[in-house]
Amino acid sequence: MIGVVVTVIVILAALYAGGALRPRAPVRYLGSPSGYEAFVPNGQTVNYNGQTDPVGDLILSNGTTLHDVIWNGQYASTIINNHNQIVQLNGQFVGQTDPVNNQPYVPLQDLYVIKGQVPIEQATINGQTYYVIEANKINPADIAGFYTYDKWVSNFVAAMNTPGTYAAVLPGNSPVFQWTNTTGTVAYQTMLYQQYIGYAAGGDVLIHSNGTIISYGAYSNIPIGINLENFAAPQQSYNPSS
């Protein structure tokens, strides 16, 4: 009997540690109903309620950044795989030279944009407090994945939230690829990575209302949410001479 009691206690302790027996914190919604928020994975993972989830930052539409954020629910494993592949490709290519503009490649970063407010709860795991994105409460039509220069991620989110910003695709003969700045390099690099990723499309650009251009690519292994199609699958071409 003592052995049975000890076994039950051990099982209960394991379930509690995994979060299965803990009281759930109330879900609250962060961000703007009409804005764009972004989860940016950092390569760490945690076990939350028996699932391995990615950890990163959450950039809100007003520019606020929350750290120690878990993405839990739909697309969690896809995000982990996408991020690992970006890290692998960075390790392979960063430091090499873009053959078109003769500039060095730069590190790229994946991010996952949510249209509208983000359902969040707080949880404590092994003494660490996290914000948890309850992704299953998000309409898939409001989610899309992107990748761009890692130092542009905050600017990318800010541009999406700026009236007048629009997205376009670069034609194969675009002079942008020859620009000897980071815009030109990243434009080519997103297409280079596309060849290895297979389920992504590079060569897109955000044109900010102030004229700033941000090169990026979009993932297709996370179904492109219809409310983000204008950014994830732009239909118009960009001609810098126009």
Position 239 scores a pLDDT of 87
Q: Say how many domains are in the chain.
A: 1
Is residue 32 packed enough to be buried (19+ CB in 10 Å), middle (13-18) or exposed (0-12)? Answer: middle
* 220, part of any domain: yes
- Taking a C-beta distance cutoff of 8 angstroms, is the pair 179, 103 a contact? no
Confidence of residue 18 (pLDDT cuts 50, 70, 90): very low
* 225, part of any domain: yes
Position 218 scores a pLDDT of 97
User: How many whole angstroms separate alpha carbon 147 and alpha carbon 41?
Assistant: 11
The size of the chain, in residues, is 242
Cα 81–171–183 angle (5° rounding)?
Answer: 65
Q: What predicted TM-score, i.e. pTM, was given to this entire model?
A: 0.89
User: How many whole angstroms separate alpha carbon 52 and alpha carbon 6?
Assistant: 28
* 240, part of any domain: no
The answer on pLDDT for 42 being more than 60 is yes
* 97, part of any domain: yes
Q: Which domain holds residue 157?
A: 24-232
Q: pLDDT digit string (tens) for 204-242?
A: 999 998 889 999 999 999 989 999 999 999 999 998 864
**How many CB atoms within 10 Å of residue 229?**
15
Residue 113 three-state SS? strand
* Amino acid at position 72, single letter: N
Q: pLDDT digit string (tens) for 162-212?
A: 999 999 999 999 999 999 999 999 999 999 999 999 899 999 999 998 889
* 88, part of any domain: yes
* 77, part of any domain: yes
Show Cβ contacts of residue 19 under 8 Å, excluding neighbours closer than 6 positions. Answer: 48, 49, 50, 123, 125
Radius of gyration of the chain (CA): 20
* 1, part of any domain: no
DSSP 6: H
* 55, part of any domain: yes
- Taking a C-beta distance cutoff of 8 angstroms, is the pair 52, 80 a contact? yes
